[in-house]
Structure 1
Amino acid sequence: MSRYHRRTVLLGAAASLATPLVAQSDPWAGIADRVQSMDQCHGLVIRQSGAEVISQVFRGPPLGRAVPVKSVSKTIVAALTGAALDRGELPSVQAKLGAVAPRLIPSGADPRVAEITVENLVTMQTGLERTSGGNYGAWVNSRNWVADALGRPFVAEPGGPMLYSTGSFHVLGAVLSEVSGQSLLDLARARLGQPLGIEIPAWTRDPQGFYLGGNEMALTLEGMARFGEMYRMGGQYDGAQVLSADWVAQSLEPRTRSQYSGLSYGYGWFLGQAGGVDYALARGYGGQVICTVPALEMTLALTSDPTLPARSGGHFGDIMQLIEGDVIPLARSRMG
């Protein structure tokens, strides 16, 4: 068992105030130098073949402190969807909202709302008007976030184009609570936190008490890396099967495509390719990233200033250049 598998990680607590140093003789030191020059970046962890090759904070909170991961939360809710399917709480991804959680559908909703599937929610293909972007503020100031998201007009048919919307994942999180009888926080702690050896702090709840699905969670870099490693290893971590291998494989299959980044999208993961190598990416506002590259046995976790935007033509573009142009080629070379 490796050192980082044995180490207890605290999310939401300053578990370690020390910043590990990258060995100067290690070729990964050049990657660390590159990230240090990116002013918005805070910290970086990279593991390859189970070994920690970089674990360093360049600015911002110390390594062991939980930090906002923004929309990386969506990928975590997607994982909890797989856990519910594994336990039979959801019959399939084709299960319809009207069948599994009719209580969530507001009165007077378009009849098509009841036909929205779990898959439509986890791929953000509900067809409903988005709650993200310019609509986000009004949505989180509404009296009922689930009803507001489901009461919006259809701008496409369910199963149509990907419409990036935190509301879709918030509804999904509420569905998971309905079918399990547990809060999203309790599900996250029991089904991800315990097997991964991490603690997950409470986060924002809506007026009805549902924890926000798709935003506002906080993780340490170590916690982010462990989550990515679990997906890299087909749902396993430290000898335990956290998620079924089938769910992980399905999650990393392209289902739709982002009109913003051009990346494909599976079940909670953006999907891309660099130099013929497939990778999966969890992405949050400001430049919070988990990237896993199964073929190269590599996982990357990166945090950035959560208050600043990270657009494809700016900081996020720099992160993608780092991953595709620097990290993946080096990881490939280290595989021999």
Structure 2
Amino acid sequence: MTLTVSTPAAQGVAATDVLAFLDAVEAADGIQPHSLTIVRHDRVVATGCWAPYTPERRRLLYSVSKSFTATAAGLALAEGLIRLDDPVISYFPELDAEITDPRSRAMLVRHVASMASGHEAETLDRARALGGGDLVRGFLLVPPDRDPGTVFAYNQPATFTLAAILQRVTGQTLTDYLRPRLLDPLGIGDVTWLTDRSGRQLGFSGLHAPADALARLGLLYLRRGVWDGERLLSPQWVAEATRAHIATAGVMAGDDRQDWDRGYGFQFWRSRHGYRADGAYGQFALVLPEHDAVIALTAATVDMQGLLHLVWDRLLPAFRAAPPPGQDDAEAALAERLAGLALPPAPGKPAPPERAGHRSGAAFTRSGGDGADQPGLRGATVTEDDDGWRLTLQEEGHSLRLPLGPGGWTVHERPLPVAVSGGWSDGDTLAVDVQFLETPHRLRVACSRAEGTFTARWHTTPLHPGPLTSLRASR
């Protein structure tokens, strides 16, 4: 289904304020926007992607995956496949004799759905260490610090366990179960989900989907489970999933956590305004019932609260009770601006300013002081052929060849979708930005001919470890 498009003014949205938000987010230090969609009164009033990102390309949504897992739980609940007050251990009888801690045995489905397992901190590393390859087993072997339902901890194995329950009772992966019940009715195209070693989809992260999946999921919840006249979710589930089940104030780290201190539902966060699906580095589906609106964002930033501040300060004033007057020029300017959104490329020339002394095949080793980012990256080679200069990165049996374009972003689809910009800043230094287009992540590589070394730095660090060639949606 194609989302219906409208002019902003026809839905009471001021284009001047949307333009102000675009100005602010592009000027903000440390925030790299990737896409924006604004829906009001069921109409898309503004949408755009910052090139080299495109609307149809799948991208990693990180913990927005949790909200899709919760939606699968709502569907399974309606079908009688799960019950919220069932003990978690009842779905894993093969572990019954091994799980003896009374708090682990008292943990209910509703507790793992609401991050209220009784643990006071993230258990992922401990669960992996104890599980012997089974993250559910490891999670249930980590004794909760307090009674389930009494304390919040953002806890990846809790969601993984919910996802494992769903995959067990349905006999399907999450994507296969959601395809006829949610993904196809909402018009969400091809998606993939990362799996663990047992083949179970992670649930807590790893979903790759087009950017407008965020807007579609948000609009389904805004409409209390109804999509295009068809009920997909019960209104009771929507209400339960999006209300605060457990307090979060004061339990999350950080100096400015205004939108993380409002309580947690079933894999949805409460916000200062409405509620949201929320993924690392700025993947958001913001549902604003008080404004009858959804704002969907993808980005790359460690300052997620700063990005939300910009939304509340600059975008919320755009929502008016009546069409704002005198917006024709602003709407034309907004349409032009949205059509031309682009990330600034890294500076550099496609060839060294002076060719003397340069040779094809120059090899670079990792700088001795550059061991923190992507430690498996061992070497780099710079070559020249008839098509220009090429940077090749070597990493643990993998190589990634990156041709440099004449300027701006050059997109390459193989061996994985990346965009490359940058070039030579002088005769000795080659600096290149590599944007991994199915993720939020950008790597800057700088090669020094004088030193024979290179450095590599992430703008935002991938949360799923692996070689560079793994930074893509699974095929």
> Against the structure 1 CA distance between its residues 87 and 138, is the aligned structure 2 distance closer, same or farther, given a 3 Å change threshold?
closer
Pick the aligned partner of 2:74 from 67, 82, 87: 82
CA distance in 1, matches of 2:88, 2:211: 34
* Deviation at residue 59 of structure 1 after TM alignment: 4.5
Q: Does the 8 Å CA contact 1:128/1:150 hold for their aligned counterparts?
A: no
Letter in 2 for 1:173: A
Helix, strand or coil at the partner of 1:264:
coil
Partner of 1:266: 265
Partner of 2:167: 177
* Deviation at residue 232 of structure 1 after TM alignment: 0.3
Partner of 1:110: 101
CA distance in 1, matches of 2:239, 2:209: 24
Letter in 2 for 1:62: T
CA distance in 2, matches of 1:149, 1:291: 30
Query: Does 2:152 align with 1:162?
Result: yes
**Cα deviation per residue 1:312-331 (whole Å; 9 max; x = unaligned)?**
xxx21222212322222322
Query: Does 2:209 align with 1:210?
Result: no
* Deviation at residue 109 of structure 1 after TM alignment: 4.4
Pick the aligned partner of 2:287 from 289, 292, 313: 292
Partner of 2:234: 244
CA distance in 2, matches of 1:76, 1:209: 18
* Deviation at residue 33 of structure 1 after TM alignment: 2.7
Larger strand proportion, structure 1 or 2? 2
Unpaired runs of 5+ residues, structure 2, are 253-259, 325-475
> Against the structure 1 CA distance between its residues 284 and 161, is the aligned structure 2 distance closer, same or farther, given a 3 Å change threshold?
same
Q: Does the 8 Å CA contact 2:188/2:210 hold for their aligned counterparts?
A: no
Bigger radius of gyration among the two: 2
> What RMSD in Å do the two structures reach over aligned CA positions?
2.8
CA distance in 1, matches of 2:296, 2:123: 24
> Against the structure 1 CA distance between its residues 100 and 147, is the aligned structure 2 distance closer, same or farther, given a 3 Å change threshold?
closer
> Against the structure 1 CA distance between its residues 327 and 104, is the aligned structure 2 distance closer, same or farther, given a 3 Å change threshold?
farther
CA distance in 1, matches of 2:183, 2:282: 23
Query: Does 2:121 align with 1:121?
Result: no
Number of aligned residue pairs: give it.
307
Pick the aligned partner of 1:301 from 268, 273, 296: 296
* Deviation at residue 106 of structure 1 after TM alignment: 7.3
Letter in 2 for 1:331: F
Pick the aligned partner of 1:68 from 60, 75, 83: 60
> Against the structure 1 CA distance between its residues 106 and 166, is the aligned structure 2 distance closer, same or farther, given a 3 Å change threshold?
farther
Larger helix proportion, structure 1 or 2? 1
Helix, strand or coil at the partner of 2:284:
strand
Task: Output the TM-score relative to the length of structure 1.
Answer: 0.82
Helix, strand or coil at the partner of 2:188:
coil
CA distance in 1, matches of 2:141, 2:51: 42
Runs of 4+ in 1 over 6 A off after TM superposition: none
Unpaired runs of 5+ residues, structure 1, are 7-20
Helix, strand or coil at the partner of 2:150:
coil
Higher relative contact order (CA 8 A, sep 6+): 1
**Cα deviation per residue 1:95-151 (whole Å; 9 max; x = unaligned)?**
221334434657244243232111101111111364468x38956995111111221
